[in-house]
Amino acid sequence: MKTTLFVVLSALVPGIFLMQANGGPTVAVIDFERAVSEAPGGKDAITKITTFQNEQLAAITSKQKEAADLENRLRVQSRDLTETARTQLTRNLETARTNIQTMGEEAQKKITEMQQQLIAPIEQKTAMAVRAYAAEHGVKIVFDASALQNGLVYVNDTADITSEIIRRIAMDLQNPPQQDASLRSERLLNRKWMEFRVSSEF
């Protein structure tokens, strides 16, 4: 299976393992999941999402146990229960099942929102860092090792750019791009001009 996948990849991207004239590889590999999780903020984001997910799973599991107990009581004690008691147990069971479904849907919605708020920005920074690296080094193709899993038969250490991408993201956070001086001056002049116009009107 590995051999087949390797052959298919090679056929789809002819010449990807050739070297450039300057000796640099035209192909690089990144473990995108690792890059996101180890980039600044990534670990904390994943921890928050995992903690919330585990809390919701525990709550749902507890509610499922409650529903199972109600169902068991109805099955075992049905003949001994009054019609009123049986009706009430049935209603409680239906309520528990509805709550389980609602809890699951709300938890999934919240997890999706957390992923968009916490993980998506880091994924975007990682993708931008990969594109910048590729442009600087003339890399034509970057494979995601976390998506291919066992599809990559062999990767030389020099082709794995994961650690470099993580470093770049950290450096970008420590040294945010400086705003162009001319642009700052232009905005300052525009602001003063607007202030002058407002004061003149009064």
What pLDDT shows up at residue 177?
Answer: 54
Residues in the chain: 202
Instruction: Return the percent helix, strand and coil in the chain, to nearest 5.
Output: 75, 5, 15
What amino acid is encoded at 50 in this protein?
T
Give the Cβ contact number of residue 84 at 10 Å: 8
Give the span between the Cα atoms of 150 and 148, in whole angstroms: 6
Q: How far is CA 107 from CA 1, 10, 120, in A?
A: 38, 42, 18
- Residue 1: per-residue pLDDT: 45
pLDDT of res. 8: 36
Query: Looking at residue 65, what is its pLDDT?
Result: 96
Residues in the chain, pLDDT under 70: 1-25, 175-202
- In terms of Cα–Cα distance, which of 126, 129, 134 is closest to 24? 134
CB 155 within 8 A of CB 29: yes
Q: What is the Cα–Cα distance from 130 to 28, expressed in whole angstroms? A: 10
Q: What is the dihedral of CA 131, 134, 137, 140, to 10 degrees?
A: -150
Quote the CA–CA distance of 54 and 73 in Å, as a whole number.
29
Three-class secondary structure of residue 142 per DSSP: strand
To 5 degrees, how large is the angle CA 180–CA 186–CA 190? 145
**Full-prediction pTM beyond 0.85?**
no
